[in-house]
Structure 1
Amino acid sequence: MRWWCLFLGLVLAWFVYSLSPYLALYRLSEAVRTGDVAALSQRVNFRTLRLSLSRQATAAAMQAIEARPDLSSRDRQILTDAVASLVEPVVGTLVTPEMLVDLMDDGWPQRLGVTRPEGGASPKDRGLSGRTLSELFALARTAEMRGFRGVVFSYPPDQPRERQYRLRLRLRGFTWRVVELDLPADLRDRISQKLVRLPGRTEPRP
Protein backbone atom coordinates (compact mmCIF):
# COMPACT_ATOMS: atom_id res chain seq x y z
CA MET A 1 0.00 0.00 0.00
CA ARG A 2 2.83 2.35 0.86
CA TRP A 3 4.52 1.73 -2.49
CA TRP A 4 1.23 2.23 -4.29
CA CYS A 5 0.73 5.62 -2.60
CA LEU A 6 4.32 6.57 -3.46
CA PHE A 7 3.73 5.62 -7.08
CA LEU A 8 0.54 7.69 -7.24
CA GLY A 9 2.34 10.60 -5.62
CA LEU A 10 5.11 10.45 -8.24
CA VAL A 11 2.57 10.27 -11.05
CA LEU A 12 0.70 13.28 -9.65
CA ALA A 13 3.96 15.24 -9.22
CA TRP A 14 4.96 14.49 -12.81
CA PHE A 15 1.52 15.51 -14.05
CA VAL A 16 1.70 18.83 -12.16
CA TYR A 17 5.24 19.45 -13.44
CA SER A 18 4.22 18.69 -17.02
CA LEU A 19 1.39 21.22 -16.89
CA SER A 20 3.32 23.90 -15.00
CA PRO A 21 5.10 25.60 -17.95
CA TYR A 22 1.81 25.94 -19.82
CA LEU A 23 0.12 27.40 -16.76
CA ALA A 24 3.05 29.81 -16.42
CA LEU A 25 2.64 30.82 -20.06
CA TYR A 26 -1.07 31.45 -19.53
CA ARG A 27 -0.41 33.61 -16.46
CA LEU A 28 2.25 35.53 -18.37
CA SER A 29 -0.11 36.18 -21.27
CA GLU A 30 -2.81 37.32 -18.82
CA ALA A 31 -0.37 39.74 -17.18
CA VAL A 32 0.44 41.16 -20.61
CA ARG A 33 -3.22 41.36 -21.65
CA THR A 34 -4.28 43.18 -18.48
CA GLY A 35 -1.15 45.33 -18.23
CA ASP A 36 -0.34 43.89 -14.79
CA VAL A 37 3.32 44.93 -14.49
CA ALA A 38 3.58 43.54 -10.93
CA ALA A 39 2.55 40.05 -12.05
CA LEU A 40 4.84 40.28 -15.07
CA SER A 41 7.80 41.29 -12.89
CA GLN A 42 7.41 38.10 -10.84
CA ARG A 43 7.77 36.00 -13.99
CA VAL A 44 10.82 37.63 -15.60
CA ASN A 45 14.53 37.32 -14.84
CA PHE A 46 15.51 40.81 -15.94
CA ARG A 47 19.27 40.24 -15.70
CA THR A 48 19.39 37.29 -18.11
CA LEU A 49 16.77 38.89 -20.37
CA ARG A 50 18.85 42.07 -20.59
CA LEU A 51 21.94 40.07 -21.57
CA SER A 52 19.98 38.17 -24.21
CA LEU A 53 18.59 41.31 -25.83
CA SER A 54 21.96 43.08 -25.65
CA ARG A 55 23.60 40.26 -27.60
CA GLN A 56 20.90 40.35 -30.24
CA ALA A 57 20.98 44.13 -30.61
CA THR A 58 24.78 44.19 -30.85
CA ALA A 59 24.89 41.42 -33.45
CA ALA A 60 22.20 43.12 -35.57
CA ALA A 61 23.96 46.49 -35.35
CA MET A 62 27.30 44.95 -36.36
CA GLN A 63 25.64 43.32 -39.39
CA ALA A 64 24.09 46.66 -40.34
CA ILE A 65 27.49 48.36 -40.14
CA GLU A 66 29.22 45.65 -42.16
CA ALA A 67 26.52 45.91 -44.82
CA ARG A 68 27.41 49.59 -45.45
CA PRO A 69 29.98 49.63 -48.30
CA ASP A 70 30.08 53.45 -48.22
CA LEU A 71 31.70 53.55 -44.77
CA SER A 72 35.44 53.92 -44.37
CA SER A 73 37.38 51.83 -41.86
CA ARG A 74 37.49 54.80 -39.52
CA ASP A 75 33.74 55.35 -39.78
CA ARG A 76 33.10 51.66 -39.09
CA GLN A 77 35.25 51.78 -35.99
CA ILE A 78 33.52 54.91 -34.72
CA LEU A 79 30.11 53.30 -35.21
CA THR A 80 31.27 50.06 -33.62
CA ASP A 81 32.50 51.93 -30.55
CA ALA A 82 29.26 53.90 -30.41
CA VAL A 83 27.16 50.72 -30.53
CA ALA A 84 29.26 49.14 -27.77
CA SER A 85 28.65 52.11 -25.49
CA LEU A 86 24.99 52.71 -26.36
CA VAL A 87 23.52 49.22 -26.61
CA GLU A 88 23.23 48.81 -22.82
CA PRO A 89 21.25 52.06 -22.29
CA VAL A 90 18.93 51.24 -25.19
CA VAL A 91 18.32 47.68 -24.04
CA GLY A 92 18.00 48.91 -20.45
CA THR A 93 15.16 51.13 -21.62
CA LEU A 94 13.50 48.11 -23.23
CA VAL A 95 13.88 45.70 -20.32
CA THR A 96 11.45 47.20 -17.81
CA PRO A 97 8.07 45.75 -16.79
CA GLU A 98 6.17 48.55 -18.54
CA MET A 99 8.18 48.25 -21.74
CA LEU A 100 7.84 44.46 -21.81
CA VAL A 101 4.06 44.78 -21.57
CA ASP A 102 4.25 47.31 -24.40
CA LEU A 103 6.43 44.94 -26.44
CA MET A 104 4.52 41.73 -25.80
CA ASP A 105 0.95 42.99 -26.07
CA ASP A 106 1.17 43.67 -29.82
CA GLY A 107 4.72 42.64 -30.74
CA TRP A 108 6.17 46.14 -31.00
CA PRO A 109 7.76 48.56 -28.44
CA GLN A 110 6.07 51.84 -29.32
CA ARG A 111 7.49 53.50 -26.21
CA LEU A 112 11.01 52.92 -27.48
CA GLY A 113 10.33 55.08 -30.50
CA VAL A 114 11.09 52.30 -32.98
CA THR A 115 8.97 52.64 -36.10
CA ARG A 116 6.98 49.65 -37.28
CA PRO A 117 7.70 48.44 -40.82
CA GLU A 118 4.88 48.57 -43.34
CA GLY A 119 3.12 45.39 -44.33
CA GLY A 120 3.27 42.05 -42.54
CA ALA A 121 1.03 40.98 -39.71
CA SER A 122 -1.27 43.47 -38.06
CA PRO A 123 -0.46 44.54 -34.48
CA LYS A 124 -3.13 42.33 -32.94
CA ASP A 125 -1.56 39.29 -34.61
CA ARG A 126 1.94 39.89 -33.24
CA GLY A 127 1.38 39.78 -29.49
CA LEU A 128 1.50 37.04 -26.88
CA SER A 129 -2.12 35.97 -26.71
CA GLY A 130 -3.67 33.14 -24.72
CA ARG A 131 -7.16 34.43 -24.15
CA THR A 132 -8.96 31.42 -25.61
CA LEU A 133 -8.41 27.67 -25.45
CA SER A 134 -7.59 27.56 -29.15
CA GLU A 135 -4.90 30.23 -28.72
CA LEU A 136 -3.46 28.40 -25.71
CA PHE A 137 -3.37 25.08 -27.56
CA ALA A 138 -1.69 26.76 -30.55
CA LEU A 139 0.99 28.19 -28.25
CA ALA A 140 1.38 24.87 -26.42
CA ARG A 141 2.09 23.07 -29.69
CA THR A 142 5.17 25.26 -30.23
CA ALA A 143 6.76 24.12 -26.95
CA GLU A 144 10.34 22.85 -27.17
CA MET A 145 11.65 21.38 -23.92
CA ARG A 146 15.23 22.18 -22.90
CA GLY A 147 15.94 19.47 -20.37
CA PHE A 148 13.79 19.40 -17.23
CA ARG A 149 14.08 23.08 -16.36
CA GLY A 150 13.75 24.89 -19.66
CA VAL A 151 11.11 25.35 -22.33
CA VAL A 152 10.82 27.57 -25.40
CA PHE A 153 7.55 28.85 -26.86
CA SER A 154 7.28 30.55 -30.26
CA TYR A 155 4.65 33.17 -30.95
CA PRO A 156 2.61 34.09 -32.85
CA PRO A 157 2.31 30.36 -33.68
CA ASP A 158 0.83 30.96 -37.14
CA GLN A 159 3.60 33.29 -38.36
CA PRO A 160 6.73 32.26 -40.27
CA ARG A 161 9.91 31.75 -38.24
CA GLU A 162 11.45 35.11 -39.13
CA ARG A 163 8.39 36.92 -37.74
CA GLN A 164 8.16 34.96 -34.50
CA TYR A 165 9.34 35.71 -30.99
CA ARG A 166 10.98 32.82 -29.14
CA LEU A 167 10.25 32.99 -25.43
CA ARG A 168 12.46 30.87 -23.19
CA LEU A 169 11.27 30.04 -19.68
CA ARG A 170 13.43 28.44 -16.99
CA LEU A 171 12.25 26.78 -13.80
CA ARG A 172 13.81 28.12 -10.62
CA GLY A 173 12.41 26.77 -7.41
CA PHE A 174 8.70 26.44 -8.13
CA THR A 175 8.41 29.34 -10.60
CA TRP A 176 8.93 29.46 -14.35
CA ARG A 177 10.54 32.76 -15.36
CA VAL A 178 11.33 34.36 -18.70
CA VAL A 179 15.11 34.30 -19.20
CA GLU A 180 15.42 34.99 -22.93
CA LEU A 181 13.35 36.54 -25.69
CA ASP A 182 14.61 36.14 -29.25
CA LEU A 183 13.26 38.99 -31.37
CA PRO A 184 11.97 38.61 -34.94
CA ALA A 185 14.23 39.79 -37.73
CA ASP A 186 12.31 42.98 -38.54
CA LEU A 187 12.41 44.24 -34.95
CA ARG A 188 16.11 43.44 -34.59
CA ASP A 189 16.75 45.40 -37.78
CA ARG A 190 14.77 48.41 -36.53
CA ILE A 191 16.63 48.43 -33.22
CA SER A 192 19.97 48.16 -35.01
CA GLN A 193 19.05 51.14 -37.19
CA LYS A 194 18.24 53.10 -34.07
CA LEU A 195 21.61 52.21 -32.58
CA VAL A 196 23.72 53.18 -35.58
CA ARG A 197 21.84 56.47 -35.92
CA LEU A 198 22.43 57.53 -32.34
CA PRO A 199 25.02 60.23 -31.48
CA GLY A 200 28.49 59.10 -32.42
CA ARG A 201 27.67 58.19 -35.97
CA THR A 202 29.58 60.01 -38.68
CA GLU A 203 28.33 60.71 -42.13
CA PRO A 204 29.95 58.78 -44.97
CA ARG A 205 32.89 60.49 -46.54
CA PRO A 206 32.39 61.91 -50.03
Structure 2
Amino acid sequence: MRWTLRISFLLFLAWAIFMVSPFVALYDLSKAVEARDMDRITERVNFNALRASLARQILGEFLKTQDLGGLDRQTAAQAGTATLNPVLEELITPHALLDLLDDGQLQRYEGAAGGKGILTPPGFDAASIETAWRTFILSETQGFRSITIPVPVDEPKTRQFKITLRLSSATWRLTGIDLPDTLRKELTKRAAAATK
Protein backbone atom coordinates (compact mmCIF):
# COMPACT_ATOMS: atom_id res chain seq x y z
CA MET A 1 0.00 0.00 0.00
CA ARG A 2 2.81 2.41 0.85
CA TRP A 3 4.52 1.80 -2.47
CA THR A 4 1.30 2.52 -4.34
CA LEU A 5 0.91 5.82 -2.51
CA ARG A 6 4.54 6.77 -3.11
CA ILE A 7 4.39 5.92 -6.79
CA SER A 8 1.09 7.79 -7.16
CA PHE A 9 2.55 10.82 -5.41
CA LEU A 10 5.67 10.76 -7.62
CA LEU A 11 3.55 10.47 -10.77
CA PHE A 12 1.37 13.37 -9.62
CA LEU A 13 4.47 15.44 -8.82
CA ALA A 14 6.00 14.71 -12.26
CA TRP A 15 2.72 15.66 -13.95
CA ALA A 16 2.49 18.92 -11.95
CA ILE A 17 6.08 19.86 -12.83
CA PHE A 18 5.41 19.15 -16.50
CA MET A 19 2.22 21.27 -16.46
CA VAL A 20 4.03 24.25 -14.93
CA SER A 21 7.20 23.96 -17.04
CA PRO A 22 5.99 25.96 -20.11
CA PHE A 23 5.02 28.85 -17.83
CA VAL A 24 8.45 28.74 -16.20
CA ALA A 25 9.97 28.87 -19.70
CA LEU A 26 7.76 31.84 -20.57
CA TYR A 27 8.81 33.55 -17.35
CA ASP A 28 12.47 32.91 -18.25
CA LEU A 29 11.87 34.39 -21.69
CA SER A 30 10.23 37.45 -20.12
CA LYS A 31 13.24 37.92 -17.82
CA ALA A 32 15.55 37.63 -20.85
CA VAL A 33 13.50 40.28 -22.67
CA GLU A 34 13.59 42.53 -19.61
CA ALA A 35 17.38 42.10 -19.34
CA ARG A 36 17.77 42.40 -23.14
CA ASP A 37 19.79 39.17 -23.08
CA MET A 38 20.01 38.20 -26.76
CA ASP A 39 21.72 34.87 -26.06
CA ARG A 40 18.93 33.66 -23.77
CA ILE A 41 16.29 34.92 -26.20
CA THR A 42 17.95 33.07 -29.05
CA GLU A 43 18.05 29.87 -26.96
CA ARG A 44 14.31 30.12 -26.24
CA VAL A 45 13.12 30.89 -29.80
CA ASN A 46 12.84 28.68 -32.87
CA PHE A 47 13.23 31.41 -35.49
CA ASN A 48 12.34 29.18 -38.48
CA ALA A 49 9.03 28.13 -36.92
CA LEU A 50 8.34 31.72 -35.80
CA ARG A 51 9.03 33.02 -39.32
CA ALA A 52 6.56 30.46 -40.73
CA SER A 53 3.93 31.48 -38.17
CA LEU A 54 4.19 35.17 -39.00
CA ALA A 55 4.44 34.50 -42.75
CA ARG A 56 1.19 32.53 -42.64
CA GLN A 57 -0.63 35.40 -40.90
CA ILE A 58 0.79 38.27 -42.94
CA LEU A 59 0.49 36.40 -46.23
CA GLY A 60 -3.11 35.43 -45.46
CA GLU A 61 -3.99 39.05 -44.73
CA PHE A 62 -1.99 40.22 -47.79
CA LEU A 63 -3.83 37.83 -50.13
CA LYS A 64 -7.21 39.09 -48.87
CA THR A 65 -6.33 42.56 -50.22
CA GLN A 66 -5.06 41.37 -53.62
CA ASP A 67 -6.94 40.73 -56.82
CA LEU A 68 -5.73 37.24 -57.74
CA GLY A 69 -6.84 37.62 -61.35
CA GLY A 70 -7.75 33.98 -61.90
CA LEU A 71 -4.74 32.54 -60.06
CA ASP A 72 -5.45 29.72 -57.70
CA ARG A 73 -4.75 30.45 -54.06
CA GLN A 74 -1.73 28.13 -53.79
CA THR A 75 0.08 29.74 -56.72
CA ALA A 76 -0.70 33.18 -55.32
CA ALA A 77 0.57 32.09 -51.90
CA GLN A 78 3.85 30.88 -53.40
CA ALA A 79 4.33 34.15 -55.28
CA GLY A 80 3.37 36.14 -52.19
CA THR A 81 5.84 34.21 -50.05
CA ALA A 82 8.68 35.03 -52.45
CA THR A 83 7.62 38.68 -52.48
CA LEU A 84 7.20 39.03 -48.72
CA ASN A 85 10.29 37.05 -47.72
CA PRO A 86 12.62 40.11 -47.48
CA VAL A 87 10.10 41.87 -45.24
CA LEU A 88 9.80 38.78 -43.03
CA GLU A 89 13.58 38.48 -42.77
CA GLU A 90 13.62 41.95 -41.20
CA LEU A 91 10.78 41.06 -38.83
CA ILE A 92 12.26 37.85 -37.50
CA THR A 93 15.55 38.92 -35.99
CA PRO A 94 16.43 38.74 -32.31
CA HIS A 95 16.30 42.56 -32.08
CA ALA A 96 12.91 42.85 -33.80
CA LEU A 97 11.53 40.05 -31.63
CA LEU A 98 12.88 41.82 -28.55
CA ASP A 99 10.99 44.98 -29.60
CA LEU A 100 7.79 43.01 -30.13
CA LEU A 101 7.98 41.10 -26.85
CA ASP A 102 9.11 44.16 -24.89
CA ASP A 103 6.28 46.54 -25.70
CA GLY A 104 3.97 44.85 -28.21
CA GLN A 105 5.29 46.93 -31.09
CA LEU A 106 7.91 46.65 -33.76
CA GLN A 107 9.86 49.89 -33.54
CA ARG A 108 10.29 49.98 -37.30
CA TYR A 109 6.52 49.91 -37.74
CA GLU A 110 4.70 52.95 -36.46
CA GLY A 111 1.06 52.70 -35.54
CA ALA A 112 1.34 49.13 -34.33
CA ALA A 113 -1.10 47.96 -31.72
CA GLY A 114 -0.06 47.55 -28.17
CA GLY A 115 2.25 49.75 -26.18
CA LYS A 116 2.18 47.62 -23.05
CA GLY A 117 4.78 44.95 -22.53
CA ILE A 118 3.38 41.61 -23.60
CA LEU A 119 5.97 39.66 -21.64
CA THR A 120 6.29 41.48 -18.36
CA PRO A 121 7.66 39.29 -15.57
CA PRO A 122 5.01 39.05 -12.85
CA GLY A 123 5.61 40.06 -9.27
CA PHE A 124 4.60 38.03 -6.26
CA ASP A 125 1.59 39.95 -5.01
CA ALA A 126 -2.08 38.89 -5.01
CA ALA A 127 -2.85 40.56 -8.36
CA SER A 128 0.10 38.81 -10.05
CA ILE A 129 -0.96 35.45 -8.67
CA GLU A 130 -4.49 36.01 -9.95
CA THR A 131 -3.13 36.99 -13.38
CA ALA A 132 -0.86 33.93 -13.44
CA TRP A 133 -3.82 31.70 -12.56
CA ARG A 134 -6.00 33.24 -15.32
CA THR A 135 -3.14 32.80 -17.80
CA PHE A 136 -2.85 29.14 -16.80
CA ILE A 137 -6.62 28.58 -17.11
CA LEU A 138 -6.91 30.33 -20.51
CA SER A 139 -3.93 28.56 -22.07
CA GLU A 140 -4.63 25.82 -24.59
CA THR A 141 -2.57 22.67 -24.96
CA GLN A 142 -2.17 20.80 -28.22
CA GLY A 143 -1.08 17.41 -27.00
CA PHE A 144 1.89 17.09 -24.66
CA ARG A 145 4.39 19.05 -26.73
CA SER A 146 2.69 22.35 -27.58
CA ILE A 147 0.81 25.05 -25.68
CA THR A 148 -0.70 28.39 -26.69
CA ILE A 149 -0.75 31.12 -24.04
CA PRO A 150 -2.68 34.41 -24.41
CA VAL A 151 -0.69 37.46 -23.27
CA PRO A 152 -1.34 39.87 -21.72
CA VAL A 153 -4.31 38.03 -20.27
CA ASP A 154 -5.93 41.17 -18.84
CA GLU A 155 -6.23 42.82 -22.29
CA PRO A 156 -9.30 42.35 -24.54
CA LYS A 157 -8.98 39.43 -26.97
CA THR A 158 -8.61 41.84 -29.89
CA ARG A 159 -5.37 43.16 -28.36
CA GLN A 160 -3.93 39.87 -27.08
CA PHE A 161 -1.02 38.04 -28.57
CA LYS A 162 -1.14 34.25 -28.53
CA ILE A 163 2.27 32.79 -27.88
CA THR A 164 2.88 29.18 -28.88
CA LEU A 165 5.58 27.23 -27.09
CA ARG A 166 6.71 23.79 -28.23
CA LEU A 167 8.73 21.24 -26.29
CA SER A 168 11.94 20.38 -28.14
CA SER A 169 14.88 18.53 -26.61
CA ALA A 170 13.53 19.01 -23.06
CA THR A 171 13.28 22.80 -23.60
CA TRP A 172 10.17 24.86 -24.32
CA ARG A 173 10.81 27.16 -27.29
CA LEU A 174 8.76 29.97 -28.79
CA THR A 175 7.50 28.74 -32.16
CA GLY A 176 4.65 31.09 -32.97
CA ILE A 177 3.01 34.40 -32.15
CA ASP A 178 -0.53 35.07 -33.30
CA LEU A 179 -0.69 38.82 -33.76
CA PRO A 180 -3.66 41.03 -32.88
CA ASP A 181 -5.70 42.08 -35.93
CA THR A 182 -4.55 45.72 -35.87
CA LEU A 183 -0.86 44.79 -35.81
CA ARG A 184 -1.31 42.11 -38.48
CA LYS A 185 -3.08 44.59 -40.77
CA GLU A 186 -0.41 47.23 -40.18
CA LEU A 187 2.37 44.77 -41.01
CA THR A 188 0.48 43.67 -44.12
CA LYS A 189 0.25 47.29 -45.29
CA ARG A 190 3.97 47.79 -44.68
CA ALA A 191 4.76 44.54 -46.47
CA ALA A 192 2.62 45.55 -49.45
CA ALA A 193 4.31 48.97 -49.58
CA ALA A 194 7.76 47.33 -49.45
CA THR A 195 6.95 45.06 -52.38
CA LYS A 196 5.99 47.92 -54.70
Q: Taking structure 2 as the reference length, what is the TM-score of the superposition?
A: 0.82
Instruction: Give matches, 1:17-166, under 5 Å.
Output: 17-66=18-67, 73=69, 83-110=80-107, 113-116=108-111, 123-124=115-116, 126-133=117-124, 134=128, 135-166=131-162
Output the aligned Cα RMSD: 2.5
Q: Which runs of 5+ in 2 are unaligned?
A: 71-75
Gaps of 5+ in 1: 67-71, 202-206
* Alignment partners' CA distance in 2, 1:73 and 1:19: 50
The number of aligned residues is: 185
Give 3-state SS (helix, strand or coil) of 2:194's partner. coil
- Please give the per-residue CA displacement for 1:26-62, whole angstroms capped at 9, x wherever unaligned: 1111111111111111111111111111111111111
Measured in 2, the distance between the counterparts of 1:136 and 1:106 equals 19
Identity between Structure 1 and Structure 2 (%): 32
The higher radius of gyration belongs to 1
Match of 1:128, as an amino acid? L
- Say if 2:1 is the partner of 1:10: no
Instruction: Using CA pairs under 8 Å that are at least 6 residues apart, name the structure with larger relative contact order, 1 or 2.
Output: 1
Contact 1:30 1:131 in 2 (8 A): no
Aligned to 2:169: 173
Contact 2:55–2:81 (CA under 8 A) maintained in structure 1: no
